[in-house]
Structure 1
Amino acid sequence: MIRVFIGYSRSAPVASSVAALSINRRASRPVAITHLALNQLADIYTRPHHELQSTDFSFSRFLTPYLAGFDGWAIFMDDDMLVLDDIAKLWELRDERYAVQVVKHNHVPKEDVKFLGKAQTRYEKKNWSSVMLFNCARCTALTPDYVNSATGLELHQFKWLGNDELIGEIPHRWNHLADYDPHQTDVAIVHYTIGGPFYDDFKDCSYSAEWLAERAEMLHCDQSKAKRPAKTGT
């Protein structure tokens, strides 16, 4: 079973729903998807919301190994993503030499304000944590107590590992930054990090047509056989 944890934003629940559908439509193996909704984490996630935090799951993402019982492997991904290839191919990249595997972006944001009006921050390893392949048994430092109290940089820069050599690399196609990275045809995961077509102001962003088509597929329901039974006489 491939375990996938997807961030969940109360401001745009459609994003995580489309991300989940895009996984399920292309997966060649069984997938168990968990949405990291804060209302379901109230017993273990007590961290106050920070003014620089742009999503509900900015820090709760690091509870993934704990929620997986610190056992086996699990994938975390942001909600503002579209999976265009078989998630089993990412799963096959698991490497026991590492505690976590990521796309090692050299990402320096151009903008000063994020799409929801939050200040944009620049730091080393920016966007590395937006797709993570966790070797959960080697991530036992990520207890609820630690995730609730560590600084944002300690979490997102993987200070909890104590050694960057434990961070493995996965191909760039598994976390393609739309409107930053050059448009290409072999993308496996599109990441709408600037803003996705689920917001009206970003309907014309790169790979917007693909996302809108996926949303249409999500809303589709075959009506051809759904007929209301005819009323019978009394």
Structure 2
Amino acid sequence: MIRLFIGYDRREAAANAVLAHSLNRRSSEALAITPITLSSLRAMGLYRREENPLASTEFSFSRFLAPYLCGYEGWAIFMDNDILARDDIAKLWALRDDRYAVQVVKHNHVPKEGVKFLDKVQTKYEKKNWSSVMLLNCAKCTKLTPDYVNDASGLELHQFKWLQGDDQIGGLPQRWNHLVNYDAPNADAALVHFTLGGPYFNEYRDCEFADEWRAELADMLNVQQRVATAKTG
């Protein structure tokens, strides 16, 4: 069973649903997909951070509770919701390496825009977008307690300062977190990340892989109807 957490944002509910559908449709192994929702985390007393104007999504910080939610046992995957799976996620799961606490695509992402989707500030920092897709070795992430996740700064969390050193961060092939409109076009991309804004926003409806996202949405909404039979007698 592959444990997989998806960041949930009420303003992009369609993105969550399409991502989950694309994962389930292509996976060769059973998936346990859990949306990380602020409402449930607050109800459980696990999350008490106030809204941060620099946080572009509701799961900007709550993502780091995934190891706690796994009881610091085994492995888990976290990914942002604005992603489309184009390949079997079991292939990413097979890349788990016990030498590391976390494995990510090590982007050198320096955005030029001042704002991104929903007019959120486009912040710049070292290791940007590394945490948008993470293979988490939960037993090595025990510093990520609810208290730490609630009190640490955004940079402490997203720059992995909760680890003893960068040698605990393993790399992943770039196809497992392809940044649309930043990375060079890649027909082999396994996880397509609409980090600037997904095709469900009017201003990004013609971005790379937009047609594939809309096709996935249509497939998700498709319902096989009962075939009408003629009455006899």
How many Å apart are 1:188 and its aligned residue?
0.3
Structure 1 stretches lacking a partner, 5+ long: none
Match of 2:19 in 1: 19
Code of the aligned partner of 2:122:
Q
1:224 positional shift: 3.0
Higher alpha-carbon deviation: 19-28 or 37-46 = 37-46
In the alignment, which of 134, 147, 150 is matched to residue 149 of structure 2? 147
Shift of 1:200: 1.7
2:4 matched residue in structure 1: 4
Q: Secondary structure at the match of 1:76?
A: strand
Partner Cα separation in structure 2 for residue 197 and residue 121 of structure 1: 21
In 1, the alpha carbon distance for the partners of 2:5 and 2:93 equals 13
Gaps of 5+ in 2: none
1:169 maps to: 171
**Paired letter, 1:51:** P
Aligned equivalents of 2:136 and 2:5: distance in 1? 11
Matched with 2:80 is: 78
In the TM superposition, residue 180 of structure 1 has moved relative to its aligned partner by 0.7
CA distance in 2: counterparts of 1:111 and 1:160, whole angstroms? 29
Structure 1 residue aligned with 2:49, among 47, 60, 66? 47
1:39-96 per-position Cα deviation (integer Å, ceiling 9, x unaligned): 1111201111101111000000000000111000000000000010000000000000
**1:138-191 deviations in Å (ceiling 9; x for gaps):** 000000000000000000000000211000001000000001111111100000
Counting only pairs closer than 5 Å after superposition, residues 113-192 of structure 1 correspond to structure 2 as 113-192=115-194
AA aligned opposite 1:137: A
Aligned residue identity for 2:159: Q
- What's the CA shift string for 1:187-210, capped at 9, x where partnerless? 000000111111122110111001
- The CA distance in 2 between the partners of 1:132 and 1:168, in whole Å, is 10
Paired with 1:118 and 1:184, the residues of 2 have a C-alpha distance of 27
State the match for 2:219 in structure 1: 217
AA matched with 1:33: I
Q: Distance in 2 between matches of 1:199 and 1:169?
A: 31
Q: How many residues align?
A: 228
Cα distance, 1:118 vs. partner?
1.5
Identify the residue that residue 91 of structure 2 maps to in structure 1: 89
TM-score (norm 2): 0.96
Alignment-mate amino acid for residue 130 of structure 1: S
TM-score, reference length from structure 1: 0.95
Taking only the aligned residue pairs, the percentage that are identical comes to 62
Task: Note if 1:205 corresponds to 2:207.
Answer: yes
State the alpha-carbon separation in 2 of the partners of residues 22 and 29 from structure 1.
Answer: 14
Give the secondary structure class of the aligned counterpart of 1:116: helix
The correspondence for 1:111, drawn from 105, 110, 113, is 113
